[in-house]
């Protein structure tokens, strides 16, 4: 098993006819992901390298049995596209688009909640279950199948850690990029829950960064609900308050959201926190082999 995406994933990509959408959608297909359809309003009936294009996600669900939607449309059209996906009948929506206004996401978040649809992202690299399916922009070559589940706010940082795990001979059950925006569909806790229930996952690596209190909330949750070992990394110790560090959510406001506070909250609940990506991977490998 893996989480969120696997060999049962039937993917529909909103924005498949666009440059980025077709590049990554076809890359996901080449990896082995079942790419059922693409959606671009007004382009129904066309195809992208043999993948049928529909006018709506619902059509792709009805005609091709799509169960997972990936959103690759420009920021100002993305929230309505996610809303469409939520209402289309898919189980999972993975939103890659970066730069969506946060108050739009506030509305969309609750629509997904109400409909019982799992939303990952936005502004995330997607989800990879090595050897099974890749939905998003995670470069699969740095990850082998294995026992470590990864959940992360950051893309490249995850590739860095994943590559070090691979070099140490370890692999991953899944890698979930939850995104670095202030409002995201699935938080650490949602994904930790899935890893706890996944028999293939033996250890969890959690990659956080400054801003918000998702890491602190995760620390509480780990203490009470997670039996598997968790190793964490937090980025942004040198970030000054009030400055947004790239991600819309990566900002320290007042005294809250600092890397130090997150590290302390996690360590207080017995989670080991690495000083660098390299050390984090090393701790994870040791903990996995020692357990």
Dig out the tokens for 202 from the structure.
């033996």
Minimal distance in Å, beta carbon 260 to another protein?
11
Q: Shortest distance, CB of residue 105 to another protein, whole angstroms?
A: 9
Annotated catalytic, 247? Answer: yes
Q: Which of 10, 132, 166, 247 is catalytic?
A: 247
Q: Does the footprint of another protein cover residue 247 (CB under 8 A)? A: yes
**By CB under 8 A, residue 31 contacts another protein:** no
Q: Which of 18, 25, 130, 212 binds another protein (CB under 8 A)?
A: 212
Closest separation in Å from C-beta 195 to another protein:
20
Bond preceding residue 122 cis, omega within 30 of 0: yes
Please report how close the Cβ of residue 30 comes to another protein at its closest, in angstroms: 14
For another protein, which stretch binds (CB under 8 A), given 49-57, 135-143, 262-270, 283-291? 135-143
DSSP state of 256: B
Looking at residues 39 to 58 of the shown chain, list those that interact with another protein (rule: CB under 8 A).
none
Q: What angle do CA 171, 177, 178 make, to 5 degrees?
A: 140
> Residues 154, 174, 186, 258: which binds another protein (CB under 8 A)?
154
Does residue 163 belong to the site contacting another protein (CB under 8 A)?
A: yes
Residues marked active site are found at: 247
């Amino acid at each position: 098993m893996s989480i969120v995406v696997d060999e049962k994933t039937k993917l529909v990509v909103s924005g498949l006819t666009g440059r980025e959408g077709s590049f990554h959608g076809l890359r996901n297909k080449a990896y082995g992901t079942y790419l059922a359809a693409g959606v671009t309003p007004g382009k129904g009936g066309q195809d992208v390298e043999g993948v049928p294009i529909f006018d709506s996600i619902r059509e792709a669900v009805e005609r091709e049995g799509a169960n997972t939607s990936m959103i690759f449309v420009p920021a100002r059209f993305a929230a309505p596209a996610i809303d469409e996906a939520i209402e289309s009948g898919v189980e999972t929506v993975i939103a890659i688009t970066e730069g969506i206004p946060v108050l739009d996401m506030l509305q969309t978040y609750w629509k997904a909640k109400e409909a019982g649809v799992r939303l990952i992202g936005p502004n995330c690299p997607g989800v990879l279950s090595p050897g099974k399916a890749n939905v998003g922009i995670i470069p699969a070559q740095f990850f082998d199948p294995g026992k470590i589940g990864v959940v992360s706010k950051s893309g490249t940082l995850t590739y860095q850690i994943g590559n070090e795990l691979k070099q140490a001979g370890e692999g991953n059950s899944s890698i979930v990029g939850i995104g670095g925006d202030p409002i995201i569909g699935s938080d650490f806790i949602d994904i930790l829950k899935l890893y706890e229930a996944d028999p293939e996952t033996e250890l969890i690596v959690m990659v956080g960064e400054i801003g918000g209190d998702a890491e602190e909330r995760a620390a509480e949750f780990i203490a009470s609900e997670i039996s598997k070992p968790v190793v964490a990394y937090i980025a942004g110790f040198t970030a000054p308050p009030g400055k947004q560090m790239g991600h819309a959510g990566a900002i320290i406001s007042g005294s809250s959201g600092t890397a130090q506070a997150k590290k302390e909250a996690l360590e207080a609940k017995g989670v080991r926190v690495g000083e660098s990506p390299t050390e984090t991977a090393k701790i994870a490998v040791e903990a996995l082999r020692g357990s």
